[in-house]
Amino acid sequence: MKLSNALRAATALTLVAGVSQAETITIATVNNGDMIRMQGYTDDFTEKTGHEVEWVTLEENVLRQRVTTDISTNGGQFDIMTIGMYETPIWGANGWLVPLDDLSEEYDVDDILPAMRGGLSNDGTLYAAPFYGESSMVMYRTDLMEEAGLEMPEAPSWQFIREAAAAMDDPENDINGICLRGKAGWGEGGAFITVTGNSFGARWFDENWNAQFDQPNWKEALEFYVNLMNDYGPDGYATNGFNENLSLFQQGKCGMWIDATVAASFVTNPDDSTVADSVGFALAPNAEGVEKRSNWLWAWALAIPAGTQKEDAAKEFIEWATSKEYIELVAENEGWANVPPGARTSLYETPEYQEVPFAQMTLDSIHAADPTDPTVDPVPYVGIQFVAIPEFAGIATEVSQEFSAVYAGQQSIDEALEKAQAITNEAMEAAGYR
Amino acid sequence: MARAVSTQRKTLTTALAWAIGLVIFFPILWTVLTSFKTEAQAIANPPIFLNFDWTLENYAIVQERSNYMRFLWNSVILAGGSTLLGIIIAVPAAWSMAFVPSKRTKDILLWMLSTKMLPAVGVLYPIYLLFIKMGLLDSRAGMVIVLMLINLPIIVWMLYTYFREIPGEILEAARMDGATLKEELIYILTPMAIPGIASTVLLNFILAWNEAFWTLNLTAVDAAPLTAFIASYSSPEGLFFAKLSAASTMAIAPILILGWFSQKQLVRGLTFGAVK
């Protein structure tokens, strides 16, 4: 009798051990080049740990809605979620995410770029590990600049950008001086106009959460942007986002493009880009005399929802996917230009990576962005191209719609700013900030 | 002379019908063409129509990256299951509304339809919470029920309209011959309403196949249908239009083929009604 009990217990133990050893984790992620590449290397992870991985890949906006619904209701559908710098501090503060404060020593958490670590933490606790990070920078056509007899400084001003756009603009040959985002949406045109505002000394809120769209800096920023785009931008820029501008730039229809640093690997890839060998990079511009530049900071990061039953396996995956070894694995198979950028300091110390043309400018741009001190005047929020409060996505989407209406010529700048002011103040009042 | 005019007019209407048909079909054709281009050709400006090197590369990549058959199978089960369940519930409901209407029948019909007027996202949280409580998240059973409920008002309305055109006297005659309610429904009403039921089934199958709000929000892995398959190829940061087109073509191909073979029933059901 005792023997059979012991046998049973042993079997049960083996089973339990077996289950805890090999899990199947479900990961929700976005569809972009680096994430898809990672899915291709899942076998390496399975080989090392025994855990299987199920991927749920969704378009960014669908993903955001999907994972927000799940985590706020404790649905437990996912063991790892791919989230951004906007969600992480808010969700961390809500207690929705597992703190990543016990990662292994080999993982070397101190190697994560400080700007990324800061943006993915709440009260000093890391809640998501950056898979890749990005800032924004100027991408320009070196051949057109040369023809125009200009030289791009490493840190240009908006005034120089306008001068260069004028010189490169060539409607007869279908070349626009500059291509910029104008599409409505907080993560599209909203993000761009927010950082443009920062670089003109504007800010979303004062320290008491009062909207600041009635201040002269906002008007100056918006006027500059609209004039620049009306004079030298492509037709219909009010509906252009990242993809539309990428397509224009790759086909040689833009002299300059200021956007995410991850675009650098696309525009320099000869398979897709007709201008691959003549692209230069510079820091995102600022208005003369303003210390803040118009570069943002973003990271796609991996986080574990608090309700998961498979926390250990999920942590193992995060350590694998955001490790130095993973970067080496990709570099070995696909070259250094294709490794996920912007997450680890050690990557930028690798001699082979330093030879990648956009590596240094990406790092400089990330260093130039400080989410805890994003504007000239003090603000009560964290975030550069966004304000890390739950209400922001809704407010900024509405505000960016008003701005896009200006770009499309449907209303004046004054009207848009007045509406933006009212929308923001009303929403903040309703949310109890004011 | 009169005949010449009518031929001319006939030609004109035919040409117009073809033109409208082509305009409606063009986006699908463009998607199919794009799926055979490289990513660079897919975004070329001016666009390339036919003069490109046709490649199957996108299909190979999509096949490699996603388990197409799993998504397809889920789509078939969700669309088929929800339509079948919907018909089983809607036939008796439409029968009672068409042949034994009460004072409130019209109101009930309108009330049923009014549920379609609420934006789906408005009830996302309640439904999500219900699904968590009942353990139905990412399950085919849960999705069949949700899709059935979404389409039920349309099924009832369509069947009600068809049934209304069947003379009540025929059913009365059957009753006088001693048919029970069940026999009346199965042997008299259903055969007469077959074209109507067939077009309702087809239309609802297509609606359920294409449903892309609930199928995206309530599924993850096990019950994810082809809508989730397409959504995994859409990207706001990166130009993957050729791959997206290949995925879209693979997702719409089965329903397109089904529609092609059943267009006669579909058109007859939609235009003629039951016994005319």
What is the SS3 assignment for B177?
coil
CATH dotted code for A136-296+376-430: 3.40.190.10
Q: Do B216 and A62 touch (CB under 8 A)?
A: yes
pLDDT at B187 over 60: yes
CA pair distance A45, B129, nearest whole angstrom: 33
Q: Does B94 fall in a domain?
A: yes
Taking residues A388-408, report their average pLDDT: 95
pLDDT, residue B231, reads 92
pLDDT digits (tens, 9 = 90+) for B157-166: 999 998 988 8
CA pair distance B58, B240, nearest whole angstrom: 10
B124 touches chain A (CB under 8 A): yes
Cis omega (within 30 of 0) for bond into B46 = yes
Q: Do A61 and B236 touch (CB under 8 A)?
A: yes
Nearest to B235 among A26, A31, A251 (CB): A31
Beta strands in A337-419 (DSSP E): none
pLDDT at B192 over 90: no
**Contact residues on chain A for B40, CB-CB shorter than 8 A:** 250, 271-272
Which of B67, B74, B128, B232 would best serve as a mutation to test chain A binding (most A beta carbons within 10 A)?
B232
The tally of domains found in chain B comes to 1
Residues 6+ apart with CB under 8 A from A78: A26, A27, A28, A56, A67, A70, A305, A308, B220
DSSP state of A109: G
- The ipTM, to two decimals, is 0.85
Cβ under 8 Å to A: B residues 144-203: none
Q: Does B197 fall in a domain?
A: yes
Listed as own residue / partner, the contacts of B212-216 with beta carbons closer than 8 Å and 24 or more positions apart are B213/B120, B213/B121, B214/B120, B214/B127, B214/B143, B214/B146, B214/B147, B214/B150, B215/B78, B215/B143, B215/B147, B216/A58, B216/A62, B216/A66
Distance of CA B125 to the CA centre of its chain: 25
Closest-CA residue of B relative to A57 is: B232
What percent of chain A lies above the pLDDT cut of 90? 87
Q: Cα-flanking dihedrals φ and ψ of residue A176, to 5°?
A: -90, 140
Size of interface A-B (CB pairs under 8 A): 95
Q: Do A242 and B237 touch (CB under 8 A)?
A: yes
Q: Does B1 fall in a domain?
A: no
pLDDT, residue A320, reads 97
Residue A30 burial (10 A CB sphere; 0-12, 13-18, 19+): buried
Please state whether beta strands A24-30 and A80-83 pair in parallel, antiparallel, or not at all (unpaired): parallel
Q: Do B128 and A69 touch (CB under 8 A)?
A: yes
Residue type, A120: L
Measure in Å the smallest separation between the Cα of A47 and chain B Cα atoms: 19
**Contact residues on chain A for B233, CB-CB shorter than 8 A:** 31
pLDDT, residue A33, reads 83
Q: Do A75 and B137 touch (CB under 8 A)?
A: yes
Equal fold, A2-134+297-359 vs A136-296+376-430: yes
User: What spatial distance separates the first Cα and last Cα of chain B, rounded to whole Å?
Assistant: 33
Nearest to A271 among B40, B43, B238 (CB): B40
B55 touches chain A (CB under 8 A): no
Q: Are B160 and B196 in contact (CB under 8 A)?
A: no
Residues 6+ apart with CB under 8 A from B206: B79, B255, B259
pLDDT at B272 over 80: no
Closest-CA residue of B relative to A79 is: B220
Q: Supply angle C-alpha A396, A402, A407, rounded to 5.
A: 120
Q: What is the torsional sign of CA A226, A231, A234, A236?
A: positive
Q: Do B237 and A272 touch (CB under 8 A)?
A: no
Is pLDDT larger for residue A370 or for residue A329?
Answer: A329
pLDDT band for position A4 (cuts 50, 70, 90): low
Give alpha helix (H) positions in chain B.
2-34, 39-42, 57-65, 68-99, 105-114, 124-134, 140-164, 168-176, 181-183, 190-192, 194-210, 214-217, 226-231, 241-261, 263-272
pLDDT at A191 over 60: yes
Residue B6 burial (10 A CB sphere; 0-12, 13-18, 19+): exposed
pLDDT at A1 over 50: no
DSSP state of B236: S
Closest-CA residue of A relative to B40 is: A272
**Contact residues on chain B for A71, CB-CB shorter than 8 A:** none
Q: Does B253 fall in a domain?
A: yes
Closest-CA residue of B relative to A264 is: B238
Q: Do A251 and B216 touch (CB under 8 A)?
A: no
pLDDT band for position B105 (cuts 50, 70, 90): very high
pLDDT, residue B262, reads 83
B125 touches chain A (CB under 8 A): yes
**Contact residues on chain A for B224, CB-CB shorter than 8 A:** 56
pLDDT digits (tens, 9 = 90+) for B112-134: 988 888 899 999 999 999 999 99
Q: Do A31 and B234 touch (CB under 8 A)?
A: yes
Q: Supply angle C-alpha B267, B270, B275, rounded to 5.
A: 105
Q: Do B239 and A266 touch (CB under 8 A)?
A: yes
* Partners of residue A205 on adjacent β-strands: A211
pLDDT band for position A348 (cuts 50, 70, 90): very high
**Contact residues on chain A for B236, CB-CB shorter than 8 A:** 59-61, 187-188, 241-243
Beta strands in A70-213 (DSSP E): 80-83, 121-122, 125-126, 129-141, 176-179
Mean pLDDT for chain B?
90
Lowest mean pLDDT among A193-207, B144-158, B233-247: B233-247
Distance of CA B252 to the CA centre of its chain: 11
In which domain, by residue range, is B162 found?
A: 66-272
**Contact residues on chain A for B39, CB-CB shorter than 8 A:** 271-272
Q: Do A77 and B129 touch (CB under 8 A)?
A: no
The domain that holds B100 is classified in CATH as: 1.10.3720.10
Q: Does B7 fall in a domain?
A: no
Closest-CA residue of A relative to B243 is: A31
Cβ atoms within 10 Å, residue B196 = 26
Nearest to A62 among B132, B224, B231 (CB): B231
Taking residues A341-350, report their average pLDDT: 94
A26 touches chain B (CB under 8 A): yes
Q: Does B58 fall in a domain?
A: no
Closest CA to B234 of A266, A82, A31, A263: A31
| DSSP output for A254-305 | EEEEEEETTHHHHHT-TTT-TTTTSEEEEEPPB-TT-S--S--EEEEEEE-B
CA pair distance A344, A130, nearest whole angstrom: 9
Nearest to B220 among A74, A78, A260 (CB): A78
pLDDT, residue A9, reads 55
DSSP state of A55: E
**Contact residues on chain B for A239, CB-CB shorter than 8 A:** none
**Contact residues on chain B for A32, CB-CB shorter than 8 A:** 235, 237-238
Residues 6+ apart with CB under 8 A from A175: A144, A168, A169, A252, A253, A254, A255
Which of B57, B67, B129, B237 would best serve as a mutation to test chain A binding (most A beta carbons within 10 A)?
B237
Q: Are A166 and A251 in contact (CB under 8 A)?
A: no
Structural element, H or E, at residue A317: helix A311-321
Q: Do B220 and A60 touch (CB under 8 A)?
A: no
Taking residues B77-104, report their average pLDDT: 94
Closest CA to A271 of B60, B232, B242, B250: B242
Q: Do B236 and A241 touch (CB under 8 A)?
A: yes
Residues 6+ apart with CB under 8 A from A52: A22, A23, A24, A25, A46
Structural element, H or E, at residue A56: strand A52-58
- Give the distance between the most distant pair of CA atoms in chain A: 94
pLDDT digits (tens, 9 = 90+) for A355-367: 998 999 999 999 9
**Contact residues on chain A for B138, CB-CB shorter than 8 A:** 77
Q: Does B35 fall in a domain?
A: no
Cβ atoms within 10 Å, residue B24 = 9
Q: Do B238 and A33 touch (CB under 8 A)?
A: yes
B132 touches chain A (CB under 8 A): yes
CA pair distance B141, B146, nearest whole angstrom: 9
Closest CA to B126 of B209, B212, B218: B218
- Output Rg (C-alpha) for chain A, integer angstroms: 23
Instruction: Look up residue A404 and give its two tokens.
Output: 């896009």
Buried b (16+ CB within 10 A) or exposed e, A397-433: ebbbbbbbbbbeeeeebeebbebbbebbbebbeeeee
Residue A278 burial (10 A CB sphere; 0-12, 13-18, 19+): middle
Within 13 Å, how many C-alpha atoms sit on residue A427's CB side?
A: 19
Lowest mean pLDDT among A153-157, A368-372, B207-211, B215-219: A368-372
Nearest to B234 among A59, A78, A272 (CB): A59
CA pair distance A282, A280, nearest whole angstrom: 7
Delimit the domains of chain A by residue range: 2-134+297-359, 136-296+376-430
The verdict on domain A2-134+297-359 having CATH code 3.90.79.10 is no
Q: Are A252 and A277 in contact (CB under 8 A)?
A: no
pLDDT digits (tens, 9 = 90+) for A196-215: 999 999 999 999 999 999 99
What percent of chain A lies above the pLDDT cut of 70? 95
